[in-house]
Structure 1
Amino acid sequence: MDFSCGAFVCPGRRLGFDDLYEEEEVLGTGACAIVKKCIHRESAREYAVKIISKEGMQRPEVEILSEEKHIIKKLDHRNIVKFYGSFSDAKDYRLVFELLNGGDLYQYVIKRQRTSHCESNVMRYMRDIFTGLQYCHTKNIIHRDVKPPNLSLTIEDKREVVKLVDFGLAVETKGKARRKLGDLGTRKYKAPEMVQGLKYGTPIDLWACGCVLYNLLSGTHPSGASFPSLYWDRVSESSKDLIKQLLNEDQDSRITAAEALNHSFFNPMREESQYLGDAIMHLTEFTQKEMWKTAGGVGIVTNSVLAPIMASVMPSPPGGSQHAGASMDDTVKESC
């Protein structure tokens, strides 16, 4: 069977999702979508399918979904969840992704690193995150919702790999110029320029990375770039310096993903890292307070996150961008 790029067509009709896949158990649900595991009938490989009901959907919502598909089709990187294709029937849209087996990063750290959590581990995770974002930013794509449940972990070749997931709020810009692109995302991880309604660009993703790094090293959330000794006495100065550069309120001076990867935090010869057991305890408490939803490495955008972008989307004018009204009927490319 030929799974060449583009729609697979058998004589007389296009193959649908049920022809190629068998749906299995639910991995997670949200206000806007449900995620299930699915099995490819030909290869028996497991995937995750994000199912969005068409019931009650308005044109702006369809355009948001089409934009997500347009963006993720452009991305092919080890640190970004792989997209395999989309389907549409009378009731639902379906997006098929690789199935990530480690859950979200914070839950993985809490469960697997309880007795071994240290800066060296965090360094590996952050290298993957910065590398994925650097790739996106070179393509002028801003994720806009970097946060714990959108950082999923999997095991590849016996190595932990962190991947960016859920590009439902991502936006593609033209060049490096700042633009007013709306106040979106998750409150705790929003950069100040977004909250203030200013023009912004890729630096908003680096602010969120600063919050993530702060979370992982202390188990707490930042209130500015301050480091109370109760949580930070065992953390290196290079880690604190990188956080300061990520949480720089001046977006024009904030460190980029490429610059972050060259920071002394990633120096393999730096001082030996200490066990951060208190951070695990505080991180457990922190995650229990949050209302995050993730499933199978596919983030689920909730209504509270989606509402602002819905309010800002207007029907495309005649002659608008080709991808804005792209069909959701493309079938999947299976890499056998």
Structure 2
Amino acid sequence: MPYKKHSLIDDFEISTKVLGLGINGKVVECISRTTRKKYALKILLDSPKSRREVSLHLKAKHCPQIVEVSDVYENSYGGEKCLLIVMEKMEGGELFQRIQEKTEGGLASFTEREAAEIMNEICSAVYFLHKRNIAHRDLKPENLLYTTKGKHSILKLTDFGFAKETVNEGLSLQTPCYTPYYVAPEVLGSSAYDKSCDIWSLGVIMYILLCGFPPFYSNTGLAISPGMKKRIRTGQYEFPDPEWKNISLSAKDLIRGMLNVNAESRLTIEQVMGNEWICKFSNVPQTPLFTGKLLREGEENWTEVQEEMTRSLATMRVDYERINIKSLDFSNNSLLDKRRNKKAK
């Protein structure tokens, strides 16, 4: 796709409505002057890193599970040379938000079968990328957004700010890009790693989908603590009752295969897609899950944690000493308190 040189304002009205904050830039709403259709506009300072993000996102433009890029403009914005990415606007909200809305008031439950269908959609996006030797490196629920097509809701992956091409299927990734909850153990070290880091993140997402809390978390106010790093590196997590009591063994086995600390033994995306829990999701039992309830109970805490993750991400490409992270010890943290109490018993 050739970048457009004329002013984006000739074609779009830029709204003051902020839709989100990506790794490298903010996302605002814009409206086509001819069709009045609303789009999402991502504003990036022009740099090799930004051009890589745009290039890799464009390589995935034909995947139905990845947010579509409509146009890219080279403009000056706020006195800086920028790349302006016009994307489809995802009206349906984030993944966790949708689950909370569905289960609000206890009128409906979120089931294991629905979790399997969601994982099928997410894995389809990752499969498309991995077949093209692209590692996303920032798979997390905040980057999974819904749109509506007719009567159907479609889940799509966005934000290629950390994405990178792998070289000859080898170990070619070295930059420590991650969101702490979803980081693979090999990314925490100084050695090179490959796109299997995405499979670990998929395992973490699947775990949270099935119970409402993460398998690895910090017991301190840090975004990622030494203890959390140790548990990630050694694969120390549990399937505690009552949240996991009725969940199928096949789901737990699939998570174990994705959360294998040995990257070489970890499942590939082809193996994940071929797993019956994923590819035959309509046969997965409709077991009611605790997910919606726990996400709602921890909504305030989850927002705080997301903010901490954002601040932590900001330090990864600047100065680690410049960011002060708010301590969770001074906030009401019901989900982590529950896990801590269980550990203490």
Which category of TM-score, normalised to the shorter sequence, fits these structures? Answer: 0.7 to 0.9
Which residue of structure 2 aligns with residue 214 of structure 1?
207
Matched, 1:130 2:126: no
Q: Is the 8 A contact 2:60 2:129 kept in 1?
A: yes
Equivalent of 1:83 in 69, 73, 77: 69
Which residue of structure 2 aligns with residue 103 of structure 1?
93
Which residue of structure 2 aligns with residue 320 of structure 1?
none
Q: How does 1:29-178 map to 2 (within 5 A)?
A: 30=21, 33-52=25-44, 62-76=47-61, 77-87=63-73, 88-91=75-78, 92=80, 93=82, 94-114=84-104, 115-178=108-171
Which residue of structure 1 aligns with residue 2 of structure 2?
6
Structure 1 runs of 4+ with >6 Å offset: none
Note the aligned Cα RMSD (angstroms): 2.5
Q: How does 1:153-302 map to 2 (within 5 A)?
A: 153-223=146-216, 224-266=236-278, 267-268=280-281, 270=283, 272-276=285-289, 278-290=290-302, 291=304, 302=310
Give the TM-score, by structure 1 length.
0.79
Partners of 1:241 and 1:220 lie apart in 2 by 18
Partners of 1:153 and 1:280 lie apart in 2 by 17
Partners of 1:255 and 1:285 lie apart in 2 by 33
How far off its partner does 1:108 sit?
A: 0.8
Letter in 2 for 1:24: S
Higher relative contact order (CA 8 A, sep 6+): 1
Provide Cα deviations, 1:162-219, integer angstroms capped at 9, x if missing partner.
Answer: 1111100111121210134221110110000101223211111110111111101101
How far off its partner does 1:293 sit?
A: 6.7
How far off its partner does 1:269 sit?
A: 6.5
Identity %: 27
Letter in 1 for 2:101: K
Partners of 2:171 and 2:209 lie apart in 1 by 30
Which residue of structure 1 aligns with residue 338 of structure 2?
none
Unaligned runs of 5+ in 2: 217-235, 320-345
Q: Is the 8 A contact 1:79 1:163 kept in 2?
A: yes
How far off its partner does 1:113 sit?
A: 3.9
Letter in 1 for 2:14: E
Partners of 2:282 and 2:154 lie apart in 1 by 22
How far off its partner does 1:285 sit?
A: 3.8
How far off its partner does 1:86 sit?
A: 2.2
How far off its partner does 1:112 sit?
A: 2.0
Unaligned runs of 5+ in 1: 9-13, 55-60, 295-300, 312-336
Q: How does 1:17-32 map to 2 (within 5 A)?
A: 17-28=8-19, 30=21
Provide Cα deviations, 1:268-302, integer angstroms capped at 9, x if missing partner.
Answer: 564532221x22121234453244779xxxxxx94
Change (3 A) 1:90 1:274: closer
The 3-state SS of whatever aligns with 2:59 is coil
Q: Is the 8 A contact 1:190 1:208 kept in 2?
A: yes
Letter in 2 for 1:305: L
Which residue of structure 2 aligns with residue 329 of structure 1?
none
The 3-state SS of whatever aligns with 1:211 is helix
Q: Is the 8 A contact 1:130 1:258 kept in 2?
A: no
